[in-house]
Chains A and B, each alone.
Chain A
Amino acid sequence: MTPDLLRSLLQGIAEAVIAQAEHLTVLDQAIGDGDHGINMKRGLENVLADLDNITAKPPAEILKAVGMTMVMKVGGASGPLFGTLAMTLGKEWPTEDELDSAKLGLMLAASIEALKKRGKADLGAKTMLDVLAPVQQALKANKSIAEISAIAQQAAEATIPMKATRGRASFLGDRSIGHMDPGAFSSALMIKTICQLLEEKS
């Protein structure tokens, strides 16, 4: 992947999430503390503001810098969580080989493990992991871009009937059932945006 492509993916992700910030707030007000939209927006606006500097680096360093910006600027738990996701992807970025679906799957697998540790969560707890894990399986199985996009959307919708056992939503117990997890929504939005941009460019 070229730095140019990575830059346009990052820009696309940031713009897509910022555009949905109000919807993220609505989702988070239902089962969380209502700050996911505004926090993600703040973090990603800082990424956009610094995009020229950040993307002057090699891909692995770009992702680490994006992760660090999220960690420092978000102000809520989503900072360390999305920050850990980006930083682990950067850490696992292959040094020489071309990036393919299988390698991306391995990178995402490492990120999922790092996220489980960071958030003290596992699959089925109604979190972003419930989107990332099926996407990881899809990458491993070399599914098409369109299939991966659909899997991300279905996985986010599958968090609606789940009961939250981590984060603020877990305080609600059964009342968390019936709402989509905001972190699952934003994760799926990022993946769908990447898929859409990759399809436009291919």
Chain B
Amino acid sequence: MSNVGIVIVSHSKEVAMGTAEMVLQMVGDEVPLAWCGGNPDGGLGTNLDAIMEAISRAWSDAGVAVMVDLGGAETNSEMAIEMLPAERQKKIVICNAPIVEGSVIAATEASGGASLEEVKSSAEEM
């Protein structure tokens, strides 16, 4: 049985990478985990291609929970999800949670084998 994957999408590469580091240290590596940050030129922002790639890297048959920071990260993640195959879209959720705390909680839930819905609701309780 596979665990839900976690994708971290921040405007900042450093925030995304640092959040992923915290998840790895606190939860371990039994959760598929990927992150991306920065606009297509490498400045602050988000990049659709990078979001789609991160979702592929963290893909799990149990689904993927996407953690976002500010508005553009959410809008771009929604758009990225819509560009993926329909059967994958059904297994991806965006969590409305603080990116650092939400990612750690979501990964903790996921590492225990929780369903995608359980992972999302735990993160959103933050």
Q: A residues engaging B (CB < 8 A)?
A: 33, 35, 38-39, 42, 71-81, 83, 118-119, 167-168
The 10 A-B residue pairs whose C-beta atoms are closest, nearest first, are: A75-B39, A75-B45, A77-B72, A76-B72, A77-B75, A80-B79, A80-B75, A77-B71, A76-B45, A72-B48
Residues of B within 8 A of A73 (CB): 40
- Asked if B111 is at the interface of the complex by the 8 Å CB criterion, the answer is no
Complexed CA–CA distance, A192 and B75 (Å): 27
Q: Which of B44, B46, B75 has the most CB of A within 10 A?
A: B75
Contact residue among B41, B49, B78 (Cβ-Cβ distance under 8 Å from A72) = B49
The answer to whether A168 touches B40 (Cβ under 8 A) is no
Q: Per a CB cutoff under 8 Å, which of A75, A80, A81, A119 touches B40?
A: A75
- B75's partner among A33, A38, A42, A119 (CB-CB below 8 A) is A119
A42-B72 contact in complex given A72-B49, A80-B78, C-beta closer than 8 Å: no
- Chain B residues within CB distance 8 Å of chain A: 38-41, 43-49, 70-72, 74-76, 78-79
Would B76 and A80 count as touching, CB distance under 8 A?
A: yes
Given contacts A73-B40, A75-B45, 6 further A-B contacts (CB under 8 A): A71-B48, A72-B40, A75-B41, A75-B47, A79-B72, A80-B75
Interface of A is mostly: helix
Instruction: Determine if B71 and A42 form an interchain contact, defined as CB atoms under 8 angstroms apart.
Output: no
Measured CB to CB, the nearest residue on chain A to B79 is A80
Q: How far is the CA of A167 from the CA of B70 in the complex (A)?
A: 9
Residues in B neighbouring A78, C-beta threshold 8 A: 72
Cβ of A128 to closest chain B Cβ, rounded Å: 13
A167 and chain B: residue at smallest CB distance: B71
Query: Of the candidates A42, A80, A83, A168, which one forms a contact with B39 in the assembled complex, judged by CB atoms under 8 Å apart?
Result: A42
Q: Which of A72, A75, A83, A118 contacts B72 (CB 8 A)?
A: A75
Q: Note all chain B residues with C-beta closer than 8 A to A74.
A: 39, 45
> What are 18 inter-chain pairs, A to B, with CB distance below 8 A?
A33-B70, A33-B72, A39-B45, A42-B41, A72-B47, A74-B39, A75-B39, A75-B40, A75-B41, A75-B45, A75-B46, A75-B47, A77-B76, A79-B48, A79-B75, A118-B79, A168-B70, A168-B71
Q: Give, as a whole number of angstroms, the nearest-CB distance from A120 to chain B.
A: 9
A residues near B38, Cβ cutoff 8 Å: 75
Q: Residue among A72, A76, A83, A168 with the most chain B CB within 10 A?
A: A76
A33 nearest in chain B by CB position:
B70
Residues from chain B with a CB closer than 8 A to the CB of A119 are 75
Q: Are A76 and B46 in contact (CB under 8 A)?
A: yes
Known: A72-B49, A168-B71. A79 touches B43 (CB 8 A): no
